[in-house]
Amino acid sequence: MRAAGLWEYPLGLPAMERGTTAEMREAGEHLVAGHARLDATCRRIGPEPGVALPNRASPQQQRFVAAVEGTTGRQFDTTAVTIMRVAHGQIFPAIARIRAGTGNSLVRQLADQTDDTVLDQISVLERAGLVNFDRTSLQQTAPPKPTAARTTPPAPQPGEPVVGGRRGRPRPTRPPPNLRVRRCAETGVA
């Protein structure tokens, strides 16, 4: 999940500032806060099973961010919502498979938190009113099959901080100190 935060967190920040509607700015807040919480959990539990967590987004994830960076106004909102909603729809069933298929209590804990976070983010993205469900459904059910090299975040390079490693720790993602987000499940809003 740290890999997802490496591109969704950077999309959440401009959505908070550049979103053209209150709903879009709220979606940005939920992305930032949700991925900051997931990042903290990944950093806490990653070292226990000896997992080296990525420090950079994958090439595919970098293209997602680049596709949104050059847009403004309603085009920014629509492009960001479409990319994020498709990605969330694709990962949602994978989280359930991982949760169901592991005996590792730490992995189950992270899967539970991830499931809650992704559902919350799907809900706020949909509330922005920009999801094209026909297009999203098609992209989720028949996505192109990119190679592992395009979808796997690069391994930390020699001398680079490694989460869960011995060479230090990269800077965590954190929400701005004044950001107070209540997830949809906490507010009763779907």
pLDDT, tens digit, 9 for 90 and up, residues 127-156: 999 988 877 766 555 555 566 666 667 767
Under the phi-then-psi rule, with left for phi > 0, alpha for psi from -120 to 50, and beta for the rest, what region is 158?
beta
Task: Return the structure tokens found at 52.
Answer: 């080296």
Helix, strand, coil percentages (3-state) for the chain, rounded to 5, are: 65, 0, 35
CA distance 1 to 4: 5
How does pLDDT run across 77-122, given as a tens digit for each residue? 999 999 999 999 889 899 999 999 999 898 899 999 999 999 999 9
* 141 contact partners, CB below 8 Å, separation of at least 6: none
- Whose tokens are 């806490």? That residue is 44
**Band of residue 165 on the pLDDT scale cut at 50, 70, 90:** very low
Report DSSP letters for 45-98, one per residue.
HTTTTTPPBPSS--HHHHHHHHHHHT--HHHHHHHHHHHHHHHHHHHHHHHHHH
Collect all residues with Cβ–Cβ distance below 8 Å to 92 and sequence separation of at least 6.
Answer: 115, 118, 119, 122
Size of the chain, expressed as the number of residues it contains? 190
